[in-house]
């Protein structure tokens, strides 16, 4: 499981001209799922995300988490995070989980983040052609992979 976590002052997802999710001050998370991912990965990554101290405190130091600020999360599925580009010019997505595996994990991540935050998580639409609009704050962008836990 791979996540690109962006601290944003605002972000939204639009599908077919309709906004499916929008947040102010918080995190935009692009989430890639692969066949080898498990619920253990979901729990570990969700914990890391909500506790990561990447928001400024009173002195402007990154000492606060999304939980500390009661910030919002916009969670977007993005299979292209597992693109393999070694050969040729057309990426291969063979490592990305197929929908029958990825959708339950995406829904589990949504539920786990909501449980930890104590509020709803905004989302995109799995498998849709999504248009993402964001204002990266900082900019702060963190890439995490559950295969690099140790």
Is it the case that residue 150 has pLDDT exceeding 80? no
Q: pLDDT class for 67, splitting at 50, 70, 90?
A: very high
The predicted structure's pLDDT at residue 76:
98
Locate the domains of the chain by residue range.
2-145
**Architecture of the 2-145 domain:** 3-Layer(bba) Sandwich (3.50)
Average pLDDT over the chain reads: 95
CB 52 within 8 A of CB 34: no
Answer yes or no: 80 catalytic: yes
Catalytic residue among 14, 20, 38, 80: 80
Q: pLDDT class for 143, splitting at 50, 70, 90?
A: very high
What lies within 8 Å, CB to CB, of 1 at 6+ separation is 31, 32, 33, 34, 37, 41, 42, 45, 105, 145, 146
The predicted structure's pLDDT at residue 90:
87
Q: What's the length of the chain? A: 150
Higher per-residue confidence, 94 vs 5 = 5
């Amino acid at each position: 499981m791979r996540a690109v976590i962006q601290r944003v002052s605002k972000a939204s997802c639009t599908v077919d001209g309709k906004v499916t999710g929008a947040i102010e001050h918080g995190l935009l998370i692009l989430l890639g799922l692969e066949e080898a991912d498990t619920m253990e990965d979901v729990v570990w990554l969700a914990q890391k995300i909500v506790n990561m101290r990447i928001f400024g405190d009173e002195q402007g130091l990154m000492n606060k988490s999304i939980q500390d600020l009661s910030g919002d999360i916009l969670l977007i599925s993005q299979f292209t995070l597992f693109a393999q580009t070694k050969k040729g010019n057309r990426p291969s997505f063979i490592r990305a989980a197929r929908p029958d595996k990825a959708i339950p994990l995406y829904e589990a991540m949504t539920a786990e983040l909501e449980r930890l935050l104590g509020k709803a998580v905004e989302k995109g639409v799995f498998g849709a052609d999504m248009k993402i609009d964001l204002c990266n704050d900082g900019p702060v962008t963190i890439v995490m992979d559950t295969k690099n836990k140790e």
